[in-house]
Amino acid sequence: MTERVLLIDPIDPSGVELLARAVDIVETPDGDVEAVRRLAQDCDATIIRSRLPDDIFEVAPRLRAVTIHGTGTDLVPLASADAHGVIVANLPGENAQSVAEYCVMAMLMLARNAAAITMAIRSEAWDAARARSSDVHEIAGMTCGIVGVGAIGSRLAGILHRGLGMRVLGTQRRLNRLPPEVEPVTLDRLLSESDFVVITAPLTRDTHHLFNAERIARLKPDAWLINVGRGAVIDEQALTEALRARRIRGAMLDVFEHYRLAPGHPLFALDNAVLTPHLAGITRESRMRMGAAAAQLTLAMLAGERPANLINPQAWDAHCMRRHAGGAPGAA
């Protein structure tokens, strides 16, 4: 029987072409959750950019491998994956350049008040729009603090330090593993000294609401906050209140506490919040790299290979037992 791979979100045609040579491809309409549950029942693996339903491995016991089209391990119910012998792997670093460039764009947009000026020139007099540049800044010589200096943070640090002459601070669990462009500091010091704070950290139990009201209050009053990590690293209500009260200068957010912002969300009403719909890592170049890499990784896992970026190694033995037994846990 030909193996089947479920694409919950579209991937680059290069990846689709690689998959089609070896497996049947199943696609979900608009990532509909009920369709995901239904279609996954007849699939052996899935490639995802959106969150899987918490009960996916209960309702689709045939699934045995998940490829995350990116790095977001919070998209998968990992405890359930472990219990069902489902291995999960991701693609760290494949979109690092795209996300790093987004962060540079965000810093320039915030420092030059670009979003407000672009809107103003459409609705206000020319001179009124131009007057909005009275308090804009060069970013050369400023300080950027990066929270979570992995592949993205390292790429960003190089661009900022070598290309723009900025001072770069960094914090993470292992401060001795930071790249040479980054000055290791505690989180509290980073918050107190940075003109820009960029969050690239993953979501874990330790980082959930890491930026709560208390930590947001430690930012400089003229600081900007940028989040391309995971939305729930920030307490969104606390940030909204800080922006509304102008306790910090502004923020640019590509990720949010809940994946899609609901119409009427309080952030939409703030003129010092620039918002984008989780697209920092999406460029034509990154999609080509990631589509092909996701397809190759998925096919390798279906062939029984242990992936280099295995998120849940504790599930490997159960996964191998499933494979030898012929499918779902408990299969004869």
Rama region for 2: left / alpha / beta (φ>0; ψ in -120 to 50; rest): beta
Please report the pLDDT score of residue 329 as a whole number.
60
Q: Name the CATH superfamily housing domain 4-93+284-325.
A: NAD(P)-binding Rossmann-like Domain (3.40.50.720)
> pLDDT digits over 73-97, tens only?
889 999 999 999 999 999 998 999 9
Element (H, E) at 47: strand 45-48
327 pLDDT tier (thresholds 50, 70, 90): low
273, 251 contact by CB (below 8 A): yes
224, 250 contact by CB (below 8 A): yes
Amino acid letter for position 327: G
Listed by start position, the domains of the chain span 4-93+284-325, 96-275
Amino acid letter for position 257: E
> pLDDT digits over 255-289, tens only?
999 878 999 999 999 999 999 999 999 999 999 99
Average pLDDT over residues 230-236: 96
Q: Do domains 4-93+284-325 and 96-275 have the same CATH topology?
A: yes
Please report the pLDDT score of residue 108 as a whole number.
98
Average pLDDT over residues 90-117: 96
Report d(CA 315, CA 331) in Å as an integer. Answer: 17
* Burial of 285 from C-beta contacts in 10 A (0-12 / 13-18 / 19+): exposed
Whether residue 224 has pLDDT greater than 80: yes
Whether residue 331 has pLDDT greater than 60: no
200, 153 contact by CB (below 8 A): yes
pTM, two decimals, is 0.87
Whether residue 217 has pLDDT greater than 80: yes
Percent of the chain's residues with pLDDT above 70: 98
| CATH 3.40.50.720 applies to domain 96-275 | yes
Average pLDDT over residues 148-167: 97
Please report the pLDDT score of residue 20 as a whole number.
97
Q: Residue written as tokens 């191998």?
A: 320
Report d(CA 76, CA 95) in Å as an integer. Answer: 19
328 pLDDT tier (thresholds 50, 70, 90): low
Please report the pLDDT score of residue 332 as a whole number.
37
Whether residue 330 has pLDDT greater than 60: no
Whether residue 300 has pLDDT greater than 80: yes
| Token pair listed for 213 | 């009201």
In angstroms, the Cα distances linking 228 to 86, 145, 199 are 28, 13, 6
Please report the pLDDT score of residue 298 as a whole number.
98
> pLDDT digits over 35-72, tens only?
999 999 999 999 998 899 999 999 999 999 999 998 88
> pLDDT digits over 12-33, tens only?
999 999 999 999 999 998 768 9
Average pLDDT over residues 146-169: 97
Please report the pLDDT score of residue 318 as a whole number.
96
Average pLDDT over residues 206-213: 97
| Token pair listed for 127 | 């001179």
Rama region for 9: left / alpha / beta (φ>0; ψ in -120 to 50; rest): beta
DSSP string, 57-79: HHH-TT--EEEESSS-GGGS-HH
Report d(CA 158, CA 207) in Å as an integer. Answer: 24
Report d(CA 311, CA 64) in Å as an integer. Answer: 14
Residue 99's Cβ-side half-sphere holds a number of Cα atoms within 13 Å equal to 29
Please report the pLDDT score of residue 198 as a whole number.
98
Report d(CA 129, CA 146) in Å as an integer. Answer: 32
Whether residue 123 has pLDDT greater than 90: yes
* DSSP letter assigned to residue 153: H
